[in-house]
């Protein structure tokens, strides 16, 4: 709601200095600008998104590498198992051919061999040893446990425990070869352990075998044959374990306790698993060989799975940091583009707070901010125009007040003169003329005394009664009046001098045209929260065309001079109380005319009257 201020609050040139209580109470303290908020919000968002994308990209790459490495380990184990079967098949064929060799069978039957037989058997096994270089020694043992032949010259020493193990193994499985795993050589007191295979001669054709073929293999050479042709990780452990849990071949030495932990997991049917040992995580892949009963294990530290992980992390971090930095620069530029016009608007608003209403913000954009700037410029121009109008209105009001003060001299002089005439008329007994003079004096007194905008309806009725007294002396018996005011309605507040134009109109157009005269009735009543004051005459009234013209003259801004008083009353009511209040006119041919004034009837207008009276200098 716009409020006017005294001229002392206005400056020339259309500028206005607002009261301190009208300023916006900005909260003191640290404030974050919109630009900083945009930069902070978008930077945090980019950092979070970049970190999220970088982290999951690294994890996906790591999982892919791990899956490939695990698959590669499984393929390596499969190839090793195939090589085991290949070399074992060669040894089995050697054993089968040897069991059918006539010279070997004669050796077992005769108990001794000739030099020629010895050379033939040596040549036989030598050819095989040339093909299978892992062969360390070959023995032929008769049914009584005697050593009939050794590929390496026999020195007379026999490991009885190893011999019993070979005999028992052949007896337990006479129809096929048996692998005893790693152990001491059969006929050498010193030397490294060997891997031993045992096969009985003439299986299934007699109650006991004719003899036993024992082939001993060098574990190191055997390991090189099985493991050297396969790609390995830098720190990969690959080992072959026999049925007893002893390591047959390995590329690196392994602690026995560690091997027990691995075999326990493998014994539970788990072929691929992760193992935590001495602060490190390992991945174990195992496979069982059904021909030999051996188990092949491949063990790799998880850290060795992806040695380039640290480099990948650095690369991802560098890319994320570069992306965030680039995004921050872009966000900085975008936020500057967005907030620059808002900053110009804020600067212009600060100038307006200082009273400069001539400022205009440069606007080159056509987006929402551009439209806002355009509306701001229009609003400032409109405010500047209104301030100028208010200033000019205040000047005119002060001039009018000055003229009114000067004009009060004549009414006061006339009122004093009428008072003197009244005393003179009373002295000579002219009471009728004295009543008219008294009524005229009351009218002048009511008009020139007081600056109240709103008055009691009772005071307005007293003024009308004085006015009707003068009109009755003029029209005599032709004018009849009737005033009916509810007691509650008399305490309502109404605009001053609101009824006189209506009463004057009723007498002028309703009573005077009639030869026999007429009657003017004034009633006031309260309905709900509204006050209705009716001024009605029983004059000739108006037809529809005349009523239409009369209403147009009263309700429109422009009209004939005959209806200016009624139009002013209607406008005053609407300005004081709002659009729902004002004047209504009803009339018909030979039906008289009724004018109804609608005003608020509650007591809250007393407080408004006090407020208006306290700020009457504002107009």
DSSP string of 367-422, one letter each residue:
SHHHHHHHHHHHHHHHHHHHHHHHHHHHHHHHHHHHHHHHHTHHHHHHHHHHHHHH
Q: Give CA separation, 39 vs 261, 320, 323, 347, 367, in Å.
A: 56, 18, 15, 21, 21
Q: Give the mean model confidence (pLDDT) for residues 187-205.
A: 76
Do you know the residue count of the chain? 619
Cross-strand bridge partners of residue 495:
454
CB 360 within 8 Å of CB 347: no
- Is the Cβ–Cβ distance between 572 and 495 less than 8 Å? yes
Q: What mean pLDDT, rounded, does the chain reach?
A: 76
Beta bridge partners of 526: 531
Find all residues with CB under 8 Å of 184, minimum gap 6, and list them.
159, 161, 162, 193, 194
Q: Is residue 24 very low, low, confident or very high in pLDDT (cuts 50, 70, 90)? A: very low
In this structure, the strands spanning 147-150 and 135-142 are antiparallel
Given a cut of 70, whether residue 553 has pLDDT beyond it is yes
Query: Pairing between strand 530-537 and 593-600?
Result: antiparallel
- Other Cβ atoms less than 10 A from the Cβ of 45: the count is 12
Q: How far is the C-alpha of 98 from the C-alpha of 104, rounded, in Å?
A: 7
Question: Residue 512: CB partners within 8 Å, gap ≥ 6?
Answer: 475, 478
Contact at 8 Å (CB) between 238 and 296?
yes
**Count of the separate structural domains present in the chain:** 2
Give the mean model confidence (pLDDT) for residues 43-72. 81
Greater confidence, 16 or 126? 126
In a domain, 458, yes or no: no
Find the Cα–Cα–Cα–Cα dihedral 53, 57, 60, 61, rounded to 10°.
Answer: 180
Residue 598 is predicted with a pLDDT of 94
Of 269, 286, 305, the residue that ends a domain is 305
C-beta separation of 505 from 565 below 8 A: yes
Q: pLDDT tier at 595 (50, 70, 90 boundaries)?
A: very high
Residue 593 has pLDDT above 90, yes or no: yes
Q: What is the CATH number of the domain that holds 127?
A: 3.30.450.20
233, 303 contact by CB (below 8 A)? no
Q: How many CB atoms lie within 10 A of CB 486?
A: 15
Strand order in the sheet with 237-241: 247-250, 237-241, 295-301, 280-288, 272-277
Nearest-5° Cα angle at 126, 206 to 120:
65
Q: What average pLDDT does this structure show over 514-520?
A: 88
Residue 509 lies in a domain: yes
pLDDT at 296 over 70: yes
Predicted pLDDT at 400: 56
Is 481's pLDDT higher than 60? yes
pTM value? 0.43
In DSSP terms, which residues pair with 139 in a beta bridge? 150, 214
Phi, psi of 178 (to 5 degrees): -130, 135
Does residue 168 lie in a domain region? yes
- End position of a domain, from candidates 305, 338, 371: 305
| pLDDT score of 13 more than 50 | no
Residue 163: inside a domain, yes or no?
Answer: yes
User: Of 271, 286, 305, which one is at a domain's C-terminal end?
Assistant: 305
pLDDT above 90 as % of the chain: 8
Higher-pLDDT residue of 602 and 103 is: 103
At CA 278, angle to CA 275 and CA 279, rounded to 5? 85
Q: What is the mean pLDDT of residues 336-349?
A: 78
Full residue range of the structural domain in which residue 489 is found = 480-618
Residues 485 and 461: beta-carbon distance below 8 Å: yes
Q: Is residue 313 part of a domain?
A: no
Residue at 607 is within a domain: yes
pLDDT of residue 526: 93
CATH, residue 531: 3.30.565.10
- Highest mean pLDDT among 55-59, 331-335, 598-602 belongs to 598-602
Q: Does 11 fall in a domain?
A: no
- How far apart, in Å, are the Cα atoms of 424 and each of 109, 418, 429, 432, 444? 187, 10, 9, 13, 19
403: pLDDT strictly greater than 80: no
- The answer to whether residue 485 is domain-embedded is yes
Tokens describing residue 611: 């407020």
- In the block, residue with structure tokens 């609003």: 379
pLDDT at 407 over 70: no
**Residue 402 vs residue 597, higher pLDDT:** 597
Q: Residue 600, SS3?
A: strand
Q: Which residue has the tokens 């007040």?
A: 401
């Amino acid at each position: 709601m716009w409020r006017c201020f005294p001229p002392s609050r206005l400056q020339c040139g259309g500028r206005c200095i607002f009261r301190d209580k009208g300023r916006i109470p900005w909260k003191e303290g640290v404030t974050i600008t919109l630009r900083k908020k945009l930069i902070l919000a978008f930077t945090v968002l980019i950092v979070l998104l970049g970190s999220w994308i970088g982290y999951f990209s690294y994890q996906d790459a790591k999982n892919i590498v791990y899956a490939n490495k695990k698959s590669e380990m499984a393929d390596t184990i499969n190839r090793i198992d195939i090589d085991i079967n290949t070399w074992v098949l060669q040894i089995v064929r050697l054993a089968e051919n040897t069991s059918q060799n006539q010279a070997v069978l004669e050796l077992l039957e005769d108990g001794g061999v000739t030099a020629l037989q010895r050379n033939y058997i040596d040549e036989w096994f030598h050819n095989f040893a040339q093909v299978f270089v892992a062969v360390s020694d070959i023995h032929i043992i008769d049914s009584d446990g005697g050593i009939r032949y050794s590929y390496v010259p026999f020195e007379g020493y026999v490991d009885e425990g190893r011999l019993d193990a070979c005999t028992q193994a052949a007896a337990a499985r006479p129809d096929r070869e048996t692998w005893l795993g790693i152990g001491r050589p059969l006929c050498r007191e010193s030397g490294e352990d060997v891997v031993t295979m045992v096969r009985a001669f003439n299986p299934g054709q007699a109650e006991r075998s004719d003899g036993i073929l024992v082939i001993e293999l060098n574990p190191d050479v055997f390991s090189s044959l099985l493991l050297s042709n396969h790609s390995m990780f830098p720190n990969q452990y690959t080992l072959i374990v026999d049925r007893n849990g002893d390591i047959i071949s390995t590329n690196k030495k392994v602690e026995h306790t560690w091997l027990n932990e691995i075999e326990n997991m493998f014994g539970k049917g788990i072929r691929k698993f992760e193992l935590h040992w001495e602060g490190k995580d390992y991945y174990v892949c195992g496979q069982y060989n059904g021909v030999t009963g051996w188990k092949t294990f491949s063990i790799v530290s998880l850290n060795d799975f992806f040695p380039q992980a640290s480099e990948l992390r650095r690369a991802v971090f560098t890319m994320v940091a570069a992306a965030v930095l680039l995004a921050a620069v872009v966000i900085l530029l975008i936020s500057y583009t967005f907030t620059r016009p808002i900053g110009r608007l804020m600067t212009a608003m600060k100038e307006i707070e200082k009273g400069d209403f001539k400022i205009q913000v440069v606007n080159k954009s056509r987006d929402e901010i551009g439209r806002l700037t355009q509306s701001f410029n229009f609003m400032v121009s409109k405010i500047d125009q209104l301030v100028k109008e208010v200033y000019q209105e205040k000047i005119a009001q002060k001039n009018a007040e000055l003229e009114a003060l000067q004009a009060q001299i004549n009414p006061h002089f006339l009122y004093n003169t009428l008072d003197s005439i009244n005393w003179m008329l009373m002295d000579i007994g002219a009471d009728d003329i004295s009543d008219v003079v008294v009524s005229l004096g009351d009218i002048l007194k009511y008009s020139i005394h007081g600056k109240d905008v709103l008055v009691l309806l009772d005071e307005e009725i007293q003024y009308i009664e004085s006015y009707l007294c003068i009109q009755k002396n003029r029209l005599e018996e032709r004018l009849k009046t009737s005033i009916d005011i509810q007691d509650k309605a008399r305490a309502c507040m109404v605009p001053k001098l609101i009824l006189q134009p209506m009463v004057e109109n009723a007498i002028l157009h309703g009573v005077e045209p009639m030869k026999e005269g007429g009657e003017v009735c004034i009633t006031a009543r309260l309905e709900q929260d509204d006050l209705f004051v009716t001024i009605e005459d029983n004059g000739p009234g108006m037809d529809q065309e005349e009523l239409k013209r009369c209403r147009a003259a009263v309700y429109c801004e422009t009209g004939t001079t005959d209806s200016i008083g009624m139009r002013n009353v209607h406008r005053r009511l609407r300005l004081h109380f709002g659009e729902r209040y004002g004047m209504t006119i009803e009339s018909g041919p030979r039906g008289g005319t009724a004018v109804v004034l609608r005003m608020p009837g509650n007591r809250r207008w007393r407080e408004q009257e006090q407020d208006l009276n306290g700020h009457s200098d504002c107009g």
